[in-house]
Amino acid sequence: MNIIVLAKHVVDTAALRIDPKTGPVFRGALTKVSDYDKHAVEEAVRIKEKTGAKVTILCVGPTEAARTSLKEAVAMGADEAFLVSTGSSYVFNNMLTLMALINSIKRIGSYDLIICGEVSEDLYQAYIGPALAVQLGIPFIGSAVKMEVNAGKIRVERKLEDVVEVLESPLPAIISVTREINQPRIPTTMQIMKVPLTKIKTIAPGELGLSEVKDKEDDISVLEKLEPARMASRKGIKVEGAPEEVAEKLIDALKKEGVLE
C-alpha cells in the first residue's frame, strides 16, 4: 500500500511579528510544516505501522527551508519525501501549486491513499484536497476525525457540528484530517539530524512541465492588512483579607464591573 501525504511548508504563525503599519513581518520568520499536515503525517505513519504501507511526503516550497521541515516529517516515520522547489521564475499561485502536486503525484507513480490537513495553516484555505480529487478523478472525504483502512476500502468518521457521519470509500481516495484525529509524535533533534538528505528528493518545476509565470498576478488579492486587536490592559486590582472577606470583596468588584448581576 502506498500513501502520499501533502505537507505544506508555512511560516510559524505563533512566532510571527506584526508591524502596525505594514502588517506581518515575514523576513527572518521561523518556518515549519503546517500543524494540520503534521496530523496527516502522523495518521499515515500509524497506518504504516499497522499495514506495512509506504509513506511518501509531497511538498511545494522553497528548497533549503522546506528541506529542513521535510526532514522532521521523515523523522516521524515517513519513508521518503519529494520537494517541488519554488524558484524565482515561478509565482506559485493556487493553480500552479495544484498543477505541481498533480504532476508530482503522477511522477511518483501508483498510490492508494492521499492524506492532507483539513486547511492550510497560513491562509486557512481548504481547496487542495477536493480540487486534487476532481483532477485525479478519485473520491474525497473531508474533516476526518478517525479513519480505518481495510481490504481496499477506507472507513472515515467525521464530525458535522452535533453529529458524526460515517463514510466508506473505495481506494484510491483523498482524505483531509482535522486536529482531533490524533496527537502527532515529536521526533528528537537527533532523529531529525540522522535523516539522510538522500531521502528528500528535489524536483524542479520545469521537470513537471510547468510553464514559467513572468508576472506577479495571483488568483488571490490582499485587500487589507489589519493588526490583531490588542488585549485590554488589566486593572491590577488586588483583593486581600480573610477567605470570607476576600470572597465578599471579589463579588462586589465583579458586580461593579457588570460581570455579575
Higher-confidence residue of 40 and 239: namely 40
Cell 460515517 sits at which residue?
166
- For residue 23, pLDDT over 80 is answered with no
Cβ-based neighbour number of residue 30 at 10 Å:
11
Angle (nearest 5°) at CA 205 between 130 and 216: 80
pLDDT value of position 232: 54
What is the band of 49 on the pLDDT scale with cuts at 50, 70, 90? very high
What is the band of 6 on the pLDDT scale with cuts at 50, 70, 90? very high
- For residue 55, pLDDT over 60 is answered with yes
Distance (Å, whole) CA 124 – CA 69 = 19
**pLDDT, average across residues 63-77:** 87
Please enumerate in sequence order all residues whose Cβ is within 8 A of that of 125, keeping only pairs 6 or more positions apart, or say none.
94, 119
CA 36 vs. chain centroid, Å, equals: 3
Least confident of 12-21, 134-143, 151-160: 12-21
* Average pLDDT over the chain, rounded to an integer: 85
Distance (Å, whole) CA 125 – CA 123 = 5
Would you list the DSSP string of the chain?
-EEEEE--EEE-GGG-EEETTTEEE-TT--EEE-HHHHHHHHHHHHHHHHH--EEEEEEEE-HHHHHHHHHHHHHTT-SEEEEEE--TT----HHHHHHHHHHHHHHH---SEEEEESS-TTT----HHHHHHHHHT--EEEEEEEEEEETTEEEEEEEETTEEEEEEEESSEEEEE-GGG-------HHHHHTS-GGGEEEE-GGGGTPPP--S---S-------PPPPPPPP------SSHHHHHHHHHHHHHHTTS--
pLDDT 10s digits, 199-226: 999 988 778 877 655 444 555 566 776 6
pLDDT value of position 211: 64
pLDDT 10s digits, 97-118: 888 899 999 999 899 999 999 9
Question: For the purposes of burial, counting CB atoms within 10 Å of the CB of 158, is it exposed (0-12), middle (13-18) or buried (19 or more)?
Answer: buried
pLDDT value of position 87: 61
pLDDT value of position 215: 46
Residue 214, all three cell numbers: 513572468
